[in-house]
Amino acid sequence: MTDDLRDLLRSTFRWTDLGPGTDYMVSDRSGWWRDPRILNGLGPALAGLFPAERPTVVVSPEVTGFMVGPLVARALGVGFVEAYRAGARRAIAEPMIWADIPADHRGEAQRLGIRQNLVGDADRALVVDDWAATGAQARGLRGLLGAAYVGTAVIVDECPPVVSAELGIRSLLTGTDLDP
């Protein structure tokens, strides 16, 4: 990964203040998706975090993972599998396997599922997302994927170091790189 990409990620990122009465800041990553240089560099940069693991498939959770995951899959020359959230307003006809996800940064528990026949015993699955705040989704998908799981590549990792090490989370930036 080049320092140019890291600089672009930092310069196009914004924290949004929700207004009076709250000290909670919301991340605005829309600048990342608008910049073609970032879109061009993200796939190879995130794929480059796991060169020795030689992933055979990329698995990404809704919503932003559906944007980032295919970029990484393309860079690796492998396929992409969606991890859907349970309760979404759509029917999925194929048989699914589900994992309960511990509470995320908002305190909400989730369920994520993949189509049951898309990740096989011989696969090496790389989980890809834009952000890891608690490691909850990585933890749930690691449980769902079992021995196929090789790690999680994210743009930003805010997890405590012990959680990142346990889950094999690697990132292009850390939360401190984006401090408000």
pLDDT of 24 > 80? The answer is no
At 20, is the pLDDT very low, low, confident or very high (cuts 50, 70, 90)?
confident
Q: 65-105 pLDDT, tens per residue?
A: 999 999 999 999 999 999 998 876 567 778 899 998 876 66
Q: Catalogue all structural domains in the chain, each as residue range(s) with its CATH number.
A: 43-87+94-102+111-179 (3.40.50.2020)
The angle subtended at Cα 125 by Cα 120 and Cα 126, nearest 5°, is: 165
pLDDT band at 41 (very low <50, low <70, confident <90, very high): very high
Among the listed residues 176, 106, 99, the one whose alpha carbon sits nearest the alpha carbon of residue 138: 99
Q: Mean pLDDT, to the nearest integer, of 136-145?
A: 95
More confident residue, 72 or 106: 72
Q: DSSP per residue over the chain, as a string?
A: --HHHHHHHHHT-EEEE--TT---EEEE-HHHHH-HHHHHHHHHHHHTT-TTT--SEEEEETTTHHHHHHHHHHHHT-EEEEEEETT-SS---S-EEEEEE---TTS--EEEEEETTSS-TT--EEEEEEEESSSHHHHHHHHHHGGGEEEEEEEEE-S-HHHHHHHTEEEEEEGGGG--
- Residue scoring higher pLDDT (26 or 61): 61
Mean pLDDT confidence for 151-167: 97
* Model confidence at 49: pLDDT above 80: yes
In three-state form (DSSP H/G/I as H, E/B as E, the rest C), the secondary structure along 47-88 is HCCCCCCCCCEEEEECCCHHHHHHHHHHHHCCEEEEEEECCC
- Give the pLDDT of residue 172: 97
Residue 55 near residue 31, CB atoms below 8 Å: no
Whole-angstrom Cα distance, residue 121 to residue 74?
Answer: 22
> What pLDDT shows up at residue 132?
95
Q: What does pLDDT average to over the chain?
A: 91
Identify the weakest region by mean pLDDT among 1-10, 67-76, 126-135: 1-10
pLDDT tier, 21 (very low <50, low <70, confident <90, very high otherwise): confident
* Region of residue 39 (left: phi > 0; alpha: psi -120 to 50; beta: else): alpha
What is the pLDDT at residue 102?
Answer: 77
pLDDT band at 53 (very low <50, low <70, confident <90, very high): very high
Indicate the pLDDT class of residue 31, thresholds 50, 70 and 90.
confident
pLDDT at 1 exceeding the cut of 60: no
Whether pLDDT at 27 is above 90: no
